[in-house]
Amino acid sequence: MDLKKIHNVYFIGIGGIGMSALARYFKFLDKNVAGYDKTDTPLTNELSEMGIAIHYEDDLSKVDQMYKDAGSTLIVYTPAVPSQHSEYRFFVNNDFRVLKRSEVLGLVTKETFCLAVAGTHGKTTTSCILAHLLKETETPLTAFLGGISEDFNSNFFFSGHTTSVVEADEFDRSFMRLFPDVACITSMDADHLDIYGNSEELQRSFREFAGKIGDQGKLFVRSGLPIKGTTYGIEDDSDYCIKNISIAQGTYIFDLITPKGDFKGLKFSKPGRHNLLNGLVAFAMAVETGADSERLSQALNTFKGVQRRFSYKIKTSDFVFIDDYAHHPTEINAIYQAVAEMHPERKTLVVFQPHLFSRTQDFADDFATSLAQFDSVLLLEIYPAREKPIDGVTSNWLLGKIENPAKKVVSKAELIHEIKKQSPEILITLGAGDIGLEVAKIKTELEYAS
């Protein structure tokens, strides 16, 4: 399909982080763009402010007539949309070009030098760092990001068609639609077992993705992963290796050893060794575009971050409030390591909203172990997203597995009262559901109380 010949683009599920980035892209190309979503959110409000018409009822009469021309309209949908959705059924049954978001992203990457970031953790932060590095070195690029970059204040950035930066999402095997020239794999922990069935099948899919990179391309693989590629790591014998780490005023200072030369005294300000690895592979991928390495070194230190990725909401001498998207045990462990390293010997309270009944069931024991590390634990009810409840899988069930006496299941209505009651030195909110909508309320209440 030639996207240049498309005049109208209609999105079913336009408010998702990946879908909204594509909507921005087509609007930037001066296409007619509109869409449906079930919920009014800050993202959909931003799209509306750009002139994109959005409605919130599954009602074909609310779709403008111009989008009902099959010859000039592309329909983009998210797999989260149920198959019985009436608008979706209309377009499918009337010979429209109906593509998943991943298929459209694949068409975009086919026409560019594609930098793809894969892995069960770290995709969004790594791709945001990479896009920032390339922007700062004036590389023409189109970036589709899975979070809101604090450098761009957006999940989309455009400065040219030459290079694309995308997240290679393993969910629903979406990354198999891409055409990567340079890629990385940050991690391959078991996840999305509702799709893959077992960790072996997940790893097989990552190996298949790695095989999409041609002989002229390059694959970066985190040290220790069972896939061949150019390795990167910390204090080991990787091809790209960080050594001599120190911390000064919350900033990492380190040396970077690479096949293309050594760099001394680099700085990176996002806490956590996992983020340091994300910065490392983003730097390595940017080098492969031909960007000037000295300018890349300077740009690494100016990366601001990603909303809901170890985001400091309050940071004073006696109280710190951190918010993060972490929704897998490995990610929670990484947050705990970062907090312990940057804020040692402080009383911690973690608020966690489990995401998906299936993930909670599959990793319950690991969740219990990772959460028990914090001094106190509050659990919200499980966020279902696309799933129906599973008998017996509840937050109370998960709570019973956590070997920590300071634990409790709370409702959103009780949350702020419980936080104030506990008076933590470090508060951490975690989860991929709608807990992010509570963060601003918590911040306002705690700033007011102080």
355 is in an annotated binding site: no
Give the pLDDT score at 53.
Answer: 97
Decide which of 279, 300, 321 is a domain's last residue: 300
Structure tokens at 165: 């930066």
Shared domain check, 118 and 36: no
Q: For residue 80, what pLDDT is reported?
A: 82
93 with 167, same domain: the answer is no
Longest CA–CA span in the chain (Å) reads 63
72/167 same-domain check? no
Element (H or E) spanning 196, and its range?
helix 193-196
Whether residues 126 and 163 fall in one domain: yes
Range of the domain at 379: 311-449
137 and 265 inside one domain: yes
Confirm whether residue 412 is marked as ligand binding. Answer: no
123 marked among binding-site residues: yes
225 and 90 within one domain: no
* CATH number for the domain harbouring residue 210: 3.40.1190.10
pLDDT attached to residue 79:
83
SS3 of the chain: helix, strand, coil, percent, to 5: 35, 25, 35
Residue 435 corresponds to which amino acid?
I
Report the 10 Å Cβ neighbour count for 53.
17
Q: What is the total count of domains within the chain?
A: 3
121 has binding-site annotation: yes
Q: What is the pLDDT of residue 185?
A: 96
Whether residue 51 is found in the same domain as residue 10: yes
Q: Is 132 annotated as a binding residue?
A: no
pLDDT (tens digit per residue) in 140-175: 999 999 999 999 999 999 999 899 999 998 877 889
- What's the CATH code of the domain at 392? 3.90.190.20
In a domain, 106, yes or no: no
Q: Is residue 156 situated within a structural domain? A: yes
pLDDT of 193 reads 57
Q: Is 7 annotated as a binding residue?
A: no
Query: Do both 293 and 145 map to the same domain?
Result: yes
Q: Is residue 238 part of a domain?
A: yes
Segment (H or E) for 34 = strand 32-36
pLDDT for 64 equals 96
Q: Is 240 helix (H, G, I), strand (E, B) or coil?
A: strand
Would you say residue 107 lies in a domain? Answer: no
Using the 3D structure, point to which of 300, 332, 353 is the last residue of a domain: 300
Q: Measured between alpha carbons, how far is 435 from 439 in angstroms, rounded to an integer?
A: 7
Query: Tokens representing 291?
Result: 């960007």
In a domain, 191, yes or no: yes
DSSP code string of 408-435: EE--HHHHHHHHHHH--SEEEEE-SSST
* Beta-sheet pairing, 240-248 with 251-258: antiparallel
Looking at the fold, whether 176 and 216 belong to one and the same domain comes out as yes
In this structure, are 84 and 118 located in the same domain? no
Residue that is last in its domain, among 66, 99, 132: 99
125 among the known binding-site residues? Answer: yes
Q: Is 244 inside any structural domain?
A: yes
- Closest to 376 in 3D by CA, of 344, 342, 396, 399: 399
Task: Please give the helix or strand (H or E) that residue 391 lies within, else none.
Answer: none
Helix (H, G, I), strand (E, B) or coil at 296: helix
- 280 and 329 both lie in a single domain: no
Residues 260, 283 within the same domain: yes
Identify the pLDDT of residue 188. Answer: 87
Residue 17's domain is classified under what CATH number?
3.40.50.720
- Residue range 132-141, pLDDT digits in tens: 999 999 999 9
Q: Say if 305 falls within a structural domain.
A: no
Does the residue 150 lie in any domain? yes
CB burial of residue 210 (10 Å; 0-12, 13-18, 19+): middle
Q: Average pLDDT across each block of 10 residues of the chain; the chain has 450 residues. List them in order.
A: 85 95 95 95 94 97 95 92 94 95 93 94 95 97 95 95 93 88 90 66 90 90 94 96 92 94 93 94 94 92 92 92 94 94 93 96 97 98 92 98 97 96 96 92 84
